[in-house]
């Protein structure tokens, strides 16, 4: 399975919500980023460490991406997996453990396959564990399409040997200290496959269905040029805001709900257009490339220091600590907490208005405090 799946489980959430995106994305090249490369390196190390625990022969991988911080994140995931392995040994006489398990869904959907990071099968349960090394978006397992597809593929295999009743799905995001676990019965997962996954996957592979914009657009290769996504955001931009005070509460709430997404979309379009202009000499009507503002720099710091000292100026150096993030990356999270944990504090953040879906607890402030916050 050296080739890429046409219907990739990792893109399943997008194709379930916007089926035509699958064929649309074929017009665009695969995207590569240092974040993806770092993630791949982290997964290879995790695979090696788990195989080592299982006494499976494996050669330790090497990578330029292996920082102390990444190694600690991988180790946190590995320790969780080891705990699950040992627990499985206690509840099942002959459990099955598989690292980087290839999962083939061709029985359900043509050209659909992927790789589950860790699979543990016991008498009654299939447990899929997924490592995510990103630091940005928190990902939960409840109704997670990617993991449900993996679970479905493993059911096809495991049900030949075991009487599986439950599929447990776990996502480990060690860099943001997030662990999410959700269970679904084998019967419910089969129903989901028959009623939701398979019909919509067929639509996607046939290029049918309607384009629909949403949070699933985040990693779509067509996101910069997608007309439906543009129309979604431009609808908000076309609202008349001449007098914000005249807008109804509902209209203001609508603006608030989409403002961040609109801003991010505009930034993505700008970045895409600028990269096209620089790398492919693309000319955009009404725009041009110019040199941005820059700051003055010394031609040679040693010569500058010597000249300043000769002229009688001695107070010319500044010494400061590296940032907390840099220090933690230098020492690693555990050592950092041991050595400097008592010297670090986190002040309250600035009061911010966010949607109700935000997981942070709501606060209530007095009018005086509100006035004070706005004056900062």
Structure tokens at 351: 């009061």
Q: Is 313 exposed, middle or buried (0-12, 13-18, 19+ CB in 10 A)?
A: exposed
Torsion angle defined by CA atoms of residues 141, 147, 152 and 158, in that order, rounded to the nearest 10 degrees: -90
DSSP calls for 247-276 = S-HHHHHHHHHHHHHHHHHHHHHHHHHHHH
pLDDT digits (tens, 9 = 90+) for 71-92: 999 999 999 999 999 999 999 9
Examine the pLDDT at 271 and tell me if it is beyond 60: yes
pLDDT at 101: 95
Asked whether 99 and 118 are in contact (CB, 8 A), the reply is yes
Asked whether 152 and 193 are in contact (CB, 8 A), the reply is yes
pLDDT at 369: 46
Task: Report the mean per-residue pLDDT for the chain.
Answer: 87
Examine the pLDDT at 328 and tell me if it is beyond 90: no
CATH architecture of the domain formed by 9-215: Alpha-Beta Complex (3.90)
pLDDT digits (tens, 9 = 90+) for 131-185: 999 887 889 999 999 999 999 999 999 988 889 999 999 999 999 999 999 999 9
C-alpha dist (Å) from residue 218 to 76, 215, 231: 27, 6, 16
Mean pLDDT score, 275-298: 84
Any alpha helices (H) in the chain, and if so which ranges?
12-17, 21-25, 34-53, 68-91, 145-158, 186-192, 198-205, 227-237, 249-280, 301-310, 324-331, 333-340, 367-375
Q: Which of 157-171, 228-242, 291-305 comes out lowest in average pLDDT?
A: 228-242
3-state helix/strand/coil string of 291-348? CCCCCCCCCCHHHHHHHHHHCCCCCCCCCCCCCHHHHHHHHCHHHHHHHHHHHCCCCC
H/E stretch holding 127 reads: strand 125-131
**Cα 49 from Cα 46, distance rounded (Å):** 5
CB atoms within 10 A of CB 247: 16
Structure tokens at 157: 């295999």
Strands 166-173 and 96-104: unpaired
Examine the pLDDT at 351 and tell me if it is beyond 80: no
């Amino acid at each position: 399975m050296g080739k890429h799946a046409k219907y990739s489980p990792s893109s399943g959430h997008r194709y379930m919500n916007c089926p035509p995106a699958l064929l649309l994305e074929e017009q665009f090249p695969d995207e590569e980023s240092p974040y993806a490369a770092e993630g791949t390196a982290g997964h290879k190390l995790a695979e090696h460490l788990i195989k080592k625990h299982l006494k499976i022969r494996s050669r330790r991988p090497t990578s330029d991406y292996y920082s102390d911080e990444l190694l600690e994140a991988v180790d946190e995931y590995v320790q969780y997996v080891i705990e699950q392995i040992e627990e499985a040994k206690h509840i099942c006489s002959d459990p099955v453990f598989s690292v980087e398990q290839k999962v083939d869904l061709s029985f359900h959907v043509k050209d659909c396959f992927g790789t589950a990071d860790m699979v543990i099968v016991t008498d009654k349960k299939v447990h899929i564990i997924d490592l995510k090394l990103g630091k940005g978006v928190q990902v939960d397992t409840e109704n997670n399409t990617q993991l449900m597809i993996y679970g479905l593929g493993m059911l096809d295999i495991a049900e030949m040997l075991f009487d599986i009743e439950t599929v447990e799905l776990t996502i480990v995001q060690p860099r943001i200290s997030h662990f999410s676990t959700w269970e679904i019965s084998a019967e419910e997962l089969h129903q989901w496959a028959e009623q939701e996954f398979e019909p919509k996957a067929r639509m996607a592979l046939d290029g049918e269905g309607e384009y629909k914009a949403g949070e699933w657009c985040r990693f779509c290769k067509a996101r910069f040029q997608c007309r439906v996504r543009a129309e979604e955001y431009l609808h908000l931009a076309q609202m008349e805001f001449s007098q914000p005070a005249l807008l109804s509460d509902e209209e203001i709430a609508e603006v608030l709900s989409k403002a961040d997404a609109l801003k991010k979309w505009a930034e993505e379009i700008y970045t895409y257009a600028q990269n096209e202009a620089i790398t492919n000499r693309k000319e955009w009507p009404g725009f041009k490339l110019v040199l941005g503002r820059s700051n003055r720099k010394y031609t040679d710091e040693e010569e500058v220091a010597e000249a300043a000292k000769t002229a009688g100026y001695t107070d010319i150096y500044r010494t400061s600590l590296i940032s907390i993030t840099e220090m933690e990356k230098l020492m690693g999270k555990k050592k950092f907490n041991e050595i400097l944990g008592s010297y670090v504090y986190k002040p309250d953040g600035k009061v911010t208005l966010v949607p109700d879906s935000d997981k942070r607890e709501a606060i209530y402030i007095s009018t005086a405090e509100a006035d004070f916050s706005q004056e900062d």
